[in-house]
Structure 1
Amino acid sequence: MKYLYLILALVCLNIYISAAQTARPVSGSVVDTTKLTLPGSNVKIRTELGDSSITIADVNGKFTFPSVKGNKITLTISSIGFEGLIKHYTLQGDGKPVVLDPIVLRSATKQLGVVTIVGVNPIVFKEDTVQYSVAAYKVRENAPIEDVLKKIPGVDVATDGTVSSQGKQITKVRVNGKDFFGGDVQSATKNLPADVIESVQIIDDYGDQANLTGVKTGEPNKILNLTIRKDKNYGYFGQATGGDGSDLLPKEPGVTNANRYIGLLNFFKFKGDQQISVLGNLNNTNVNTFSYGSATGGAAGGGGFGGGGGGRGNALRGGSTGSTTNANGITNARSIGLNFRDQWGKNLSVYGSYSFSNNTTFTNSTTLQTNSSANPSTSTQQSQETSTPTNHRFNFNLEWKPDTLNYLKVTPTFSYAGTDVNSVDNQSLIRDNVTNLAYTSTTISTSTAPNYGLTGFFNHRFKNSKRNLNIGFNASTNKNNAYDNPINNYTVGIPTAPENQVIYTDSRTNAYGVNLSYQEPIGKVSFLEFNYALNHTFTSSDKETDTLYTSTPDLYHRYDLLSNNYNYTFTTNRFGLNYRIVEKKYNLTLGVGGQPSKLDGVNLMNNVSTSVSTFNIIPAASFNYNFSRSQSLRFNYNGSSNQPAFNQLQPVTDFSNALYPVQGNPNLKPEFTNNVSLRYNAFSFQTGNIFLIGLNYTQTDHKIVQNIISYPPEFTAATLAADPSLKNYQNTTLIKYLNSDGYYSAGANFLYSKPWSQRKYTLIFGGQVNYTNNIGYSQSVNAENDITPIEKNIAKTLTFAPQLRFRTNITDVIDAEIFSRYSLNKTDNSLNTPLTNQNTNIRSLDLGINGKNYVWKDWTLSYDYTKTLNYGYSSSINIKNPNIFNAYVERRFLKDHRGTLRFAAYDLFNENTGFSTVTNGSTVTQTNVNRLGRYYLLTFTFRLQKFSGKTPSNPDRGGFRGGDGGGNRPPGGGMGGPPMGGGPM
């Protein structure tokens, strides 16, 4: 019994001691070896009483346990990408709050065994980079990286495959910091499997020099960098797809169904530093492996008078083996490409690519253009065009690093764009409800455009100092030969342009440039940079127009009025001085430059020369402040000069389009543009919320704008007798060019993303708003050739495009999204009258759902539906409110899911069409164009892959291997890796 009393006494004493312990708050912070905080770190506390608790460090790396009992505690700290740490503390018994010294974690240099990551930080902000972890945005096995991009907040993938971030289009793609297929975005996003990608980085890129030195000038390009997982750096991945199908129903009565087919080949081999990629494509479903920009060139007379390009994307995204796209026309695509990368020896890194495509595209469009000038008019065009563009593109990069002090990069390039175009256009001009002119234009054209280029960059960092010397150079030559034969058959009104023309154009552009910069440290964290840049461009164009003798068939003669031989040179010299401060929390750049420019032109047909000289003061400023690893503010200002295009300078009237001839102005000045931007990024490690907002303002001096001159249906006989050349201008609207001030544009983009329940559900709200004050001029001419005074039109355009998305993503169950998108495009013209009524108010609303349901483990049901409601378009354009519905059912089978069989149906309601509206000065152009419609496709895909390598590094902290691409690195501190820091793969 006495033992029972003893036990009870000990228990009561223990309870008394425990109750007597005073609870106190214990707080601290977690940092890395550079003293930067580590938000999101996991901190676990255990006391000698057996109590335990877990918390997460906040955005400043701080943690707090509000009520800790006991005097002896043990902390276990972990953070992804860092070595774990256990620390023991003995606290004083006074019960006072305790603030621990910062706890320092070391970067994880080696990981043993298998590591299971239970939490992933989806986003990391750097100075010029937003990095997203692929592991945070789960997709189905073997899905392309494009499927991940579609889930990332703030990133949009259009139905034609173009990628944009926060409203700005991605212009280039890199893999581990090196250009992939010459930077072609879709070649990577549609073909690289997400399984091999560690992180996606959206970068504001200022060029190689800025990446090495940290000093940025000019407007950055938005680029995409994909980092490869370390466990995938040895092995291969191959995928082949074949498919066959048909249009479901005839598009028009009497038209038979077209056969649809597709064949795709992707092969990727990784062997340490060596990487080989092969992509091939053969289909008639509008699937393009590579994008070369505008390669068709446009036939003379067949290009219409604007609009039609791109249009709104009113269709949802389809799979990589077929889709309902917003690509205009129907395309038979044929392409193949090779990308290569390797390390030759210790000091030389090489990478490059070659790609080839040969497509055939049929386009059928209707265009309405209204002109609110002093002599208002309406023009319509119905066009059918078949074009066959052929493209070659080759580039090779050599990066040489003989030591830590020197770096040299040389890039030779070659490209070729050729095209054959056949088009038929029916055009008419209406004034005062009367058709003044109508004609049919049949055009045959061919063109070839080879381009050779060489760029280079050298950086030298002086030994035992932070001094840097940088030298960059570039040279290129671009030749263009074109043959156009527009034949105009006039049915109403007096002919304007000659009825049968043969136009030969031989043009060449030679350009070269060099830039120098030297950086001198003037303190521990401050630097001075002196820079100079020379750019010189010479363009020559010899255009000969022959016209058919009407009295002697098949006999042509030279028509001097429409022929031209014009040369011009544009030269700029820029001198600058920049002051830069680099601190842990912020960096600041202030600079000023002076740029004289000279534009010289000469018309060799009459030996008339022109010369225009300008001088611009170019200030520059940027400020970046990092509140924490997940919160940053960035301000940037820069100025840039833009030379006129050749067709804006050449002084001879181009009558290729009989309704809309174009005449250049050799006295134009270069434009000078001021750009201001402000961006704020914030991410919460605790909630996963993302908030991004960007503001921008652009103002242009000497803006090159149109002056539209409307000519009467017919001049008087006396007027034509005095000037016979006026006959060519009857019933036309002449487009000329002027310099004007008053142009500006202001805009904002915003995004808020809120995930919950371990990112199974995400709500995303974002959008863009922009206001533009555009300038245009107009005049009119009467039958006596009296021209009215020039009138200025101010076109104020407001665009607003908010969107709301709700996404649910439950692994191997469902991946779906419902969305709504609204778009407003409203333009008010100062010259508008009730009679002309040129103001526009175009609105559209998209409502839809897309997703994939995974059933019976290996079955997938995919659905994409959108309903578009359009308002404000002219009834002449026949705009519809389409329902676009795509669906497929897919079955995975064979070992390791190597085989996939898919049956897909696209645009089931057969309502896919393209339309657009474009406002330019006093003209508004609305276009409707055909697109690929309803069809079905049965495809089989076979995959093989085998990888071996190191255990994956932390996807959240991978960054650029070898540096951060300029980032917060001080000048001279970035020689540990090539530009963009992408170490060898």
Structure 2
Amino acid sequence: MLRILLTSIFLLTVAGSYAQTYSVKGSVKDTAGVPLTGTLIKLKWGSDSTATSVNIAGEFSLQNVKSAEFTLSAAFIGFQSFVKQYKIENGASLVIPPIILKEGVNSLSEVVITAVTAMKVGEDTVTFNASSFPVREGDAVDELLRKLPGVKVDADGNVTNQGQTITKIRVNGKDFFGGDVATAIKNLPADVIKNLQFIDDYGDQANLTGIKTGEPEKILNVTIAEDKNKGYFVRAGVGLGNEDRYNTGIRGNLFKGEERFSFDGTITNANRGGGGGNGITSTNAAGLSYQNQWNKKLSADAGYSFNNRKNITIGKAFTQNFLETFTRLEDEATNNDSDNYSHSLSGNLEYRRDSLNFLRVSPRISYNTAESDNLGFYTITQENLLTKRDNQTSNDNSSANISTNVFYNRKFRKKGRNISLRGNVNFSNGDSFRDVLNNYVITQNGLDSLRLQNQLIDNTNRNFSTSANFSYMEPLGKRNYMEFSYNWNRSVSSTNRNTNDILSGVQVFNPNLSNQYEYQFVTNRFGLNYRFIEKKYNYTLGLNAQPALLTGQNLSKNINTRNSTFNFIPSARFVYNFTKQQSLQVNYWGRNNQPGFLQLQPISDNSNLQNVVTGNPNLNPEFIHAVNARYNQTDWNMGHFLTANLSYNQTQDKIVTTKVLVPGTINQVTSYTNTDGFYTLSGDYSYGKPFADRKFTITYSGNASLNNNVAFIDASKNIAKNFNIRQELEFELDIKDIVDVEFETSYGINTTKYSQENFDDRRTNSMRYSLRGRNFFFKDLTLGYNLSKTVNSGFDNSIVKNPTILGAHLEYQFLKGNAARIRFEAFDLLDQNTGISRDVFDNIIIDRQTNRLGQYFMLSLNMTLRKFGGNGPAPRTNNQYGPGNNNNRPGGGNNNGGGYRGNN
């Protein structure tokens, strides 16, 4: 009986092994013929199925298909799905004709995704899928950002993308912590994030009309995953170290669908975790953020932040001031102690009466106080003159700012027709009190003379600015749009400066150094813009006429000034999409820059007798022409990317400083004038390529700039051509739960050539290496390290050094879900953390060295509580202005109209 059973099993197995199977081959492309690498192919017959993904050539092959009749589906994010039934009638194989996928929304609800789009580049948006960049459990968004190509996060939490600073952060399209980037990226846990979008934001009106002019704001929009939009996350930690260092904080998030509440509190004297800026800093900070969508019509977000920052900075500086016949050398040593308090409250209230009307009101209030004491010791040498100055300065400042921005948009039934109105009111008030004490020892031809100077300077500044903008958009057909716009701005500023000299202990009013001054700056801008949209390209052409009037009144001396200008300002924008993964964008815009208050005020500030500064009330506003070209190329699935930028800026009536030496003295008089000939040409690129399922990534990047600077030295014009070039190579190794490491090296050259023959040309070189990483042992032990080395050459003074900064930490996780972490950290093990910098401008080179937080050790404990679920509604991120927005803006839903889009 057993023999018969075994024989039967053997025969069935053999028969099954010879059952008929088939092979299916094909290819997938988009409508432009570009292979859609990563497209999911699924074959289904009866209750069985098999699947694969399209390779880099756009082809797929499936073997061992067990039925001649099957249903084939092809799905790729951002494209319409393809579904069709097939039958193999002859032979055992079938070559399917090329499958062409059309653009469209695809939720892939019936298809299991096995290929993930890591990166997608749109016209003004770069979107990263968070799941393609895995991080350690418990990491915050800052660790996720560090893994993104072209993105850098410094020790203070400042974020840059392709060298541009991220100025604001939003969550699901709403301001988060008032837009404070550093606080937000530390607050949000990385594993609740669906994707991250880096957006060139041209403003509400541009997002609606698609007409984008001027320079955009670079913002980061973070989208919460649908299955994580209900729950909470709280983390608290306390750390104690030697040198009396401490670092404590608590941060948390509560998500209930559209309602989100977040808080953050920090008390530390460890320079925000051991890195960061100059000096030794103590910080007490707190922040709150709230968002809610009460119904389809009404939503709001608000943020409050408090910051108390105490800083002690000890610095040295060596300045070379190149004059016509000699070089003026200045050595200084300073000690500054400051204590600053700031409060900020901001929010947005949005009301959508229906799909055609949108209203947003955005108020903001801030209040700041600052106290500082400065001690300075200065030595100035030139020819046969030597001056030594001891300085004591106390400052007491306060300022308040209140502003409100109102934006209203009305859409009409006719697609593309829009009217938008914007109004802004801003009031600021500042008071400052300065007590200046200078002791001078002047040595000339071997003889010494002494001078004591003591001044009390009281300044009150007021500024009130208002603006209004009107825009009307009219479609001229399916692809043509015309916009008429008008913008009015008015700024009124006033200052009241009282200066008292202290003579023999008695205050004496100084009318020559006191002044009451007002000035007004008014612009009217009339604009006409034409926009044309095609599938592969779109462009905008515009012409603006702008008269500007700058008036000033010296009320103390009864002197009036009046400067008027008129500019025709053309604007242009051209976008060409070679494919969905390759695009070129070119922009031109122009803008005015009004002079600063101190540059205009016709009065001398002689609180430093060796550099008396006097304003020029006859200054004209600057006018800047800017051209920018950007090229993007990427592979959505493999993550390869190339970005390149080229920019040219030219400034008419550039406001520059003038320096005139008082004959026979060591004193100089500084003022301001307008001049032409100032321009900047710059370019940068970044290319990244991942390998082995993103375990390895290599990024090449570089930048170069040519600056034509103009200065006046003793009334002689001097042109300084400054050329900078920098090349960087970065290697990343990321094997989840094993190692996460970044190695970066860069080399830079900085040269300056002067038009005046008696000025020597300058060149400096800088090489930098850095290593940052974490090694994970088992599931609960982490070793982290951070090493950087800078090698400078070409600096011709003893200040410049080549510091090596080394830090490390060891972290152990325990309790259920690794809810607790104990961490031992060592900062600046070699005790070389010194701030070194060089500034080159006009005829001056300044080399600086400042103290920074040095070597210390810290032991800390962190606890985490978390729970997330997906019962809330999906985040509202695709449609910023309510239902019907995509169908009412120019271009429909082709992503040419801006806004927060591209959720994958």
After TM superposition, the score normalised by the length of structure 2 is 0.91
Partner of 2:701: 766
Partner of 2:261: 276
- For 2:833, the aligned partner's letter is N
Task: Return the alpha-carbon distance in structure 2 between the equivalents of residues 906 and 687 of structure 1.
Answer: 37
Please state if 1:908 is matched with 2:829.
yes
After superposition, residues 865-876 of structure 1 pair within 5 angstroms as: 865-876=787-798
After superposition, residues 301-312 of structure 1 pair within 5 angstroms as: none
Please state if 1:811 is matched with 2:762.
no
Partner of 2:668: 733
CA deviation vs aligned residue, 1:458-505 (integer Å, no higher than 9, x gap): 100122442100101101111110000010011234889961000000
Partner of 2:317: 367
- For 1:857, the aligned partner's letter is K
Partner of 1:396: 347
Alignment counterpart, residue 889 of structure 2, candidates 953, 967, 970: 970
Alignment CA distance shift 1:490-1:139 (3 Å): same
Task: Return the alpha-carbon distance in structure 1 between the equivalents of residues 880 and 415 of structure 2.
Answer: 24
Alignment CA distance shift 1:737-1:105 (3 Å): closer
Task: Return the alpha-carbon distance in structure 2 between the equivalents of residues 916 and 488 of structure 1.
Answer: 27
Contact 1:907–1:935 at 8 Å: present in 2 too? yes
Task: Return the alpha-carbon distance in structure 2 between the equivalents of residues 382 and 935 of structure 1.
Answer: 25
Task: Return the alpha-carbon distance in structure 1 between the equivalents of residues 614 and 794 of structure 2.
Answer: 33
Please state if 1:121 is matched with 2:46.
no
Alignment CA distance shift 1:140-1:117 (3 Å): farther
CA deviation vs aligned residue, 1:236-294 (integer Å, no higher than 9, x gap): 11111101001xxxxxxxxxxx310011110111112211111111010111xxxxxxx
Contact 1:843–1:870 at 8 Å: present in 2 too? yes
Task: Return the alpha-carbon distance in structure 2 between the equivalents of residues 666 and 608 of structure 1.
Answer: 10
Task: Return the alpha-carbon distance in structure 2 between the equivalents of residues 417 and 405 of structure 1.
Answer: 40
Please state if 1:855 is matched with 2:780.
no
After superposition, residues 390-789 of structure 1 pair within 5 angstroms as: 390-432=341-383, 434-493=384-443, 499-549=453-503, 553-685=504-636, 687-714=638-665, 731-779=666-714
Alignment CA distance shift 1:748-1:104 (3 Å): closer
Contact 2:266–2:284 at 8 Å: present in 1 too? yes
Contact 2:120–2:636 at 8 Å: present in 1 too? no
Alignment counterpart, residue 347 of structure 1, candidates 286, 297, 302: 297
Task: Return the alpha-carbon distance in structure 2 between the equivalents of residues 135 and 866 of structure 1.
Answer: 30
CA deviation vs aligned residue, 1:64-113 (integer Å, no higher than 9, x gap): 7699999977533233577976522358979998645635697455858x
Corresponding residue SS for 2:215 = coil
Task: Return the alpha-carbon distance in structure 1 between the equivalents of residues 255 and 396 of structure 2.
Answer: 41
Alignment CA distance shift 1:393-1:567 (3 Å): same
Alignment CA distance shift 1:464-1:141 (3 Å): same
CA deviation vs aligned residue, 1:591-647 (integer Å, no higher than 9, x gap): 111111011011111111111111111111111122232222111111111101111
Deviation at 1:920, TM superposition (A): 1.9
Task: Return the alpha-carbon distance in structure 1 between the equivalents of residues 797 and 106 of structure 2.
Answer: 65
How much is the aligned-residue C-alpha RMSD, in angstroms? Answer: 3.5
Alignment CA distance shift 1:773-1:496 (3 Å): farther
Partner of 1:210: 206
Q: State the number of aligned residues.
A: 878
Alignment CA distance shift 1:983-1:24 (3 Å): closer
Partner of 2:818: 897
- For 2:491, the aligned partner's letter is T
Contact 2:210–2:898 at 8 Å: present in 1 too? no
After superposition, residues 146-295 of structure 1 pair within 5 angstroms as: 146-246=142-242, 258-287=243-272
After superposition, residues 57-96 of structure 1 pair within 5 angstroms as: 63=59, 75-80=72-77, 86-90=83-87
Task: Return the alpha-carbon distance in structure 1 between the equivalents of residues 89 and 616 of structure 2.
Answer: 85
- For 1:905, the aligned partner's letter is A
Corresponding residue SS for 1:668 = coil
Higher RCO (C-alpha 8 Å, min separation 6): 1
Task: Return the alpha-carbon distance in structure 2 between the equivalents of residues 975 and 532 of structure 1.
Answer: 28
Task: Return the alpha-carbon distance in structure 1 between the equivalents of residues 732 and 43 of structure 2.
Answer: 36
Alignment CA distance shift 1:975-1:480 (3 Å): farther
Please state if 1:800 is matched with 2:735.
no
After superposition, residues 377-396 of structure 1 pair within 5 angstroms as: 377-396=328-347
Partner of 1:844: 766
CA deviation vs aligned residue, 1:878-923 (integer Å, no higher than 9, x gap): 2211111000000011111110100000000000011211122111
CA deviation vs aligned residue, 1:810-835 (integer Å, no higher than 9, x gap): 110000122211222221222252xx
Deviation at 1:801, TM superposition (A): 1.8
After TM superposition, the score normalised by the length of structure 1 is 0.83
Task: Return the alpha-carbon distance in structure 1 between the equivalents of residues 106 and 872 of structure 2.
Answer: 12
Deviation at 1:439, TM superposition (A): 0.9
- For 2:848, the aligned partner's letter is T
Task: Return the alpha-carbon distance in structure 2 between the equivalents of residues 173 and 68 of structure 1.
Answer: 50
Structure 2: 5+ residue stretches without partners:
1-13
Task: Return the alpha-carbon distance in structure 1 between the equivalents of residues 731 and 112 of structure 2.
Answer: 29
Task: Return the alpha-carbon distance in structure 2 between the equivalents of residues 141 and 81 of structure 1.
Answer: 30
- For 2:221, the aligned partner's letter is N
Contact 1:438–1:491 at 8 Å: present in 2 too? yes
Which of 966-975 and 519-528 deviates more? 966-975
Task: Return the alpha-carbon distance in structure 2 between the equivalents of residues 966 and 173 of structure 1.
Answer: 23
Deviation at 1:791, TM superposition (A): 1.0
Structure 1 or 2: more strand by fraction: 2
Corresponding residue SS for 1:500 = strand
CA deviation vs aligned residue, 1:431-455 (integer Å, no higher than 9, x gap): 02x4521110001110101011111
Task: Return the alpha-carbon distance in structure 2 between the equivalents of residues 684 and 407 of structure 1.
Answer: 37
CA deviation vs aligned residue, 1:275-321 (integer Å, no higher than 9, x gap): 1111111010111xxxxxxxxxxxxxxxxxxxxxxxxxxxxxxxxxx
Task: Return the alpha-carbon distance in structure 1 between the equivalents of residues 880 and 146 of structure 2.
Answer: 25
Task: Return the alpha-carbon distance in structure 2 between the equivalents of residues 51 and 158 of structure 1.
Answer: 49
Task: Return the alpha-carbon distance in structure 2 between the equivalents of residues 972 and 104 of structure 1.
Answer: 17
Task: Return the alpha-carbon distance in structure 2 between the equivalents of residues 25 and 231 of structure 1.
Answer: 36
Structure 1: 5+ residue stretches without partners:
1-10, 247-257, 288-321, 715-730, 780-789
Task: Return the alpha-carbon distance in structure 1 between the equivalents of residues 64 and 545 of structure 2.
Answer: 64
Corresponding residue SS for 1:211 = helix
CA deviation vs aligned residue, 1:698-745 (integer Å, no higher than 9, x gap): 11111111111122344xxxxxxxxxxxxxxxx222221111111111
Contact 2:80–2:101 at 8 Å: present in 1 too? no
- For 1:803, the aligned partner's letter is E
- For 1:941, the aligned partner's letter is N
Contact 2:375–2:393 at 8 Å: present in 1 too? yes
Corresponding residue SS for 1:231 = helix
Deviation at 1:190, TM superposition (A): 2.2
Corresponding residue SS for 2:143 = helix
Identity %: 36
Contact 1:694–1:750 at 8 Å: present in 2 too? yes
Task: Return the alpha-carbon distance in structure 2 between the equivalents of residues 37 and 464 of structure 1.
Answer: 37
Corresponding residue SS for 2:801 = coil
Please state if 1:923 is matched with 2:877.
no
Task: Return the alpha-carbon distance in structure 1 between the equivalents of residues 260 and 568 of structure 2.
Answer: 46
Contact 1:235–1:947 at 8 Å: present in 2 too? yes
Alignment CA distance shift 1:979-1:582 (3 Å): closer
Alignment CA distance shift 1:56-1:109 (3 Å): closer
Alignment counterpart, residue 143 of structure 1, candidates 139, 145, 152: 139
Deviation at 1:842, TM superposition (A): 2.3
Partner of 1:307: none
CA deviation vs aligned residue, 1:655-686 (integer Å, no higher than 9, x gap): 23333221111111111111111111111246
Partner of 2:6: none
Task: Return the alpha-carbon distance in structure 1 between the equivalents of residues 323 and 404 of structure 2.
Answer: 46
- For 2:849, the aligned partner's letter is N
